[in-house]
Amino acid sequence: MSVLLNKGTTFIVQGITGREAVNLTRECLDYGSKVVGGVTPGRKGREVHGVPVFDTVAQAVENHGGPIDGSVVTVPPAFTKDAVFEAILNGIKLIVIVTERIPRGDVAQMVELADMEGARIIGPNCLGLIVPGVCKMGGIGGPAKDAAKSYAPGPVGVMSRSGGMTTEISSSLTQAGLGVSTAVSIGGDAIIGSTYAELMPYFEADEQTEAIVIYTEPGGRMEAQLSQWVADNNSRLPIVAFMAGKFMDDEEMKGMSFGHAGTIVEGVEDTATEKIARLEAAGIRVVERIDQIPDTVKEKIGADA
Amino acid sequence: MRFYEYEARRIVELAGIPVTKYGFCTSAEQARAAAEEIGGPVVVKSQVLSGGRMKAGGVKFADTPEEAAAHAEAILQLEINDQMPRGVLVDPKAEVKQEYYASVVWDGTAKRPLMLFSDMGGIDIEEVAETHPDHVGRGHLTNLFPIPDFEAKQTIAATGVSGSQLNRATPILARLARLFREYDMTLAEINPLAELTDGSFVALDAHMEMENEAVGRQKQLLRTQLEIAEEDTRETYEPSDFERHVAAIDAADHRGVIQGKDHGFTGNLGLVIGAGGGSLTLTDAVRSQGGKPANYSEIGGNPSVAKACGLAKEVLEKDGVEKIAVMMSIVSNTRVDIVARGVIKACLELGKDPGETIAIFRIPGAWEDEGFKILERYGVEYCDRSVSLWEAAGRAVAKVQGAAG
């Protein structure tokens, strides 16, 4: 079992001829993922690590001879909306947007179209997702051998607003002998395609997942939404959270943004202190130190077993 | 990006929302002329990017052009919350019958813009929402389709407003919603939206904020219509020398990204850290263990040796910095050996011993074996992923405190 991806998941890379995209295509292929095409307008006929390049998503779908499951979008911010619309309207149901610095209005449009067409967006400003030993979609974990070192299969689902911290936390779970069921880098922007609460039902339905770890930051209402979800749904999954950026609560840091575009405190509710209180009120264990995550998860899984 | 009131007024005016006949002035003489043209009592308002103007004495009423000029003279020299005004706005003193509130903001959870309307304008909307929730109307907007007037009408009618007031306010809220979307605003607010004694509606004050990511595609509005210079970025504070230097090093080379901030940081431990989430985690970890960071920084996207070196040098040259800690969460794109080379080079070029100066180097991941070899050669303490970010930060703090003690 796994979340959103499986052994047979096919996907394309939009913007495949870019430097970063060439690398992630290599990494995904090495990991065993099925990259069935790439799109860069005007570059039809080329190949990237043996993957055929097309001008349009429709050509890629035609060449594949049937529906394609996903797309990793790595085109510049000004072109991302169009690329995502193209993917959705050509029947693609899972879209990972790597691009950062996309205006919120564009992201909201993509999400609204995805909702209408039954597609799911992960990101933007993310590294994608990985099911250890099965499939990785995006740059998450880096080259296949590095990804294998950080991500062993196991019972813990990971969701993180930081791509780097997705791997840091997963690696600590792997080192502790726990391992990861599916890890999702959900993106660091103020509006993203899939929030913690929106992904919880997938983990809930996944038999392999026994606990959830989330990495959170100040800014936004995503943690409040998760707290509400936990209160409304009698979830079987214990959740352990880590909150970074507590220093941003200091008076002199007010109104400043650190790390990710979404990490800006605009009201009392999005401070670290307020979020921690809200998560804890919902029964989510918030650990003080990053290195306390594996033991806390063990405790939770043990207590539930 | 934030706008001054006179710009926000211009923006709503461009969207077809009625405003009073205001004048933006940068001298007492201009203020006198503006008041003469308006004819009658006026209000002179300081143009600063800050709230609390009234309390600070930045808003004054005048009955004659001479009085307006005198107020302008005083207000133009009045600093409000560390800001000198950009100018003054001279506005006719409106005969207000009733004040309303209209705004559009993002609802990040719904991923849609949210219209807010209240018939209790002129005061803080959050206060109204708390004390008189039935006086606040809310309506979500589509991102994809044209925004219809009826959505605005529904939002206003929810507060109990009817009659000609409803019909006059509806197009104003609908236009505000359209401009929010068209101009990539994160906040578009009219407060108060005034109903004058003659029954007409005007925006008496407006507050606009545009998303920074969209500034590049809003050139028509920003440069042509509002004539805002490109370098006028409206940051919340003046960048420090450290921040400007780091930004210049980053801009000089397209490979990788470095960022540095030191606003609010005054410690003795320089941080050469990354990436986004790792930097937040590490800054907390240093502070929680009694350390005093001299700065915040981010490394990402595989920077060149020169870039890593440049950042480390800037950090080392900050006043009061005794040692630096070089730490990142596990890297898959950025190369450990390149960062190692960069920070060692920085120490050597400043005549410092890398083994003494670098309190700890904790970057596991791509090319770590090569990186660790180099660090070993220079006697720098390093560690791999078996040492957590928390522990690495703790070791750095202990070292810099040991050195200070």
CATH of the domain at B250: 3.40.50.261
CA distance A21 to chain B (A): 12
Q: What is the 3-state secondary structure (H, E, C) of chain B?
A: CECCHHHHHHHHHHCCCCECCCEEECCHHHHHHHHHHHCCCEEEEECCCCCCCCCCCCEEEECCHHHHHHHHHHHHCCCECCECCCCEEEEECCCEEEEEEEEEEEECCCCEEEEEEECCCCCCHHHHHHHCHHHEEEEECCCCCCCCHHHHHHHHHCCCCCHHHHHHHHHHHHHHHHHHHHCCEEEEEEEEEEEECCCCEEECCEEEEECHHHHHHCHHHHHHHCCCCCCCCCCCCCCCHHHHHHHHHHHCCCCCEEEEECCCCCCCEEEEEECHHHHHHHHHHHHHCCCCECCEEEEECCCCHHHHHHHHHHHHCCCCCCEEEEEECCECCCCHHHHHHHHHHHHHHCCCCHHHHEEEEECCECCHHHHHHHHHHCCCCECCCCCCHHHHHHHHHHHHHHHHC
Whether residue B393 is found in the same domain as residue B295:
yes
Q: Does B367 touch chain A (CB under 8 A)?
A: no
In this predicted structure, what is the pLDDT of residue B234? 83
Domain end call among B93, B124, B148: B93
A-interface mutation test, from B81, B82, B105, B111, most A Cβ less than 10 A away: B111
Residue A1 pLDDT grade (very low, low, confident, very high; cuts 50, 70, 90): low
Q: Residue B3: what residue type?
A: F
> Scanning every residue of chain B, which has its alpha carbon at the shortest distance from the alpha carbon of A289?
B390
Which residues of chain B neighbour A142 with C-beta distances below 8 Å?
331-333, 365-366
B207 and B133 belong to one structural domain: yes
Taking residues B221-227, report their average pLDDT. 94
* CB contact B67 to A (< 8 Å): no
Q: Are residues B8 and B111 in the same domain?
A: yes
Cβ of residue B292 closer than 8 Å to a chain A Cβ: no
Average confidence (pLDDT) over B244-270: 93
Q: What is the mean pLDDT of residues A222-234?
A: 94
**Residue B276 touches chain A, beta carbons under 8 Å:** yes
The count of CB pairs under 8 A between chains A and B is: 164
Give yes or no: residues B128 and B27 share one domain: no
- Whether B184 contacts chain A with CB within 8 A: yes
Q: Is the same domain home to B313 and B339? A: yes
pLDDT of residue B61: 96
Pair B168, B188: CB distance under 8 Å: no
Q: CB distance A291–B391 less than 8 Å?
A: yes
Residues 203-242 of B with CB under 8 A from A: 211, 213-214, 216-217, 236
* Mean pLDDT for the stretch of residues B107-135: 92
For chain B, the domain total comes to 3
Domains and CATH numbers, chain A: 10-304 (3.40.50.261)
Q: Is A260 on the interface with B (CB under 8 A)?
A: yes
**CATH number, residue B83:** 3.30.1490.20
| Disruptive mutation site among B240, B297, B332, B335 for chain A (greatest number of A CBs within 10 Å) | B332
Looking at the fold, whether B35 and B182 belong to one and the same domain comes out as no
Q: How far is B8 from chain A (nearest CA, A)?
A: 20
Read off the pLDDT of each residue in B201-226 and give the average, rounded to a whole number.
94
Q: Which of the residues A120, A136, A161, A260 is marked catalytic?
A: A260
Domain C-terminal end among B214, B236, B258: B236
Q: What is the pLDDT of residue A245?
A: 94
In contact, A163 and A126? CB cutoff 8 Å: yes
Question: Domain check: are B127 and B163 in the same one?
Answer: yes
The yes-or-no verdict on residue A193 having pLDDT over 60 is yes
Confidence of residue A267 (pLDDT cuts 50, 70, 90): low
Q: Indicate which of B142, B281, B302, B363 best probes the interface with A, i.e. most A CBs within 10 Å of its own CB.
A: B281
Residue B89 sits in the same domain as residue B99: no
| Contact (CB<8Å) A190/B264 | no
The tokens of B27 are what?
């001298």
Q: Is the pLDDT at A12 greater than 70, yes or no?
A: yes
| Domain, as residue range, for B42 | 21-93
Give the pLDDT mean for B113-140.
Answer: 92
pLDDT tens-digit readout, B356-374: 999 999 999 999 999 999 9
Same domain, B99 and B87: no
Does one domain contain both B68 and B134? no
Q: What is the mean pLDDT of residues B168-181?
A: 98
Amino acid identity at A181: S
The pTM score is 0.94
- The answer to whether residue A228 neighbours chain B at the CB level (below 8 Å) is no
The answer on B213 and B267 residing in a single domain is: no
What pLDDT digit, counting tens, does each position of B387-396 carry? 999 999 999 9
**Strand, coil or helix: what is A258?**
coil
A206 or B255, greater pLDDT: A206
For chain A, positions 127-146, list CB contacts with chain B under 8 A.
139, 141-143, 146
Single residue among B219, B236, B253 that ends a domain in this structure: B236
Q: Which of A108, A142, A247 sits opposite B283 (nearest CB)?
A: A247
pLDDT tens-digit profile of A136-161?
999 999 999 999 999 999 999 999 99
CB crowding B5-19: b at 16 or more within 10 Å, else e: bbbbbbbbeebebbb
Q: What is the pLDDT of residue B405?
A: 53
Q: What is the mean pLDDT of chain B?
A: 94
Say whether both B271 and B158 belong to one domain. no
The CATH number covering residue B167 comes to: 3.30.470.20
Confidence tier at A257 by pLDDT (50, 70, 90): confident
Lowest pLDDT segment from A25-29, A200-204, B298-302, B319-323: B298-302
Residue A49 is a catalytic residue: no
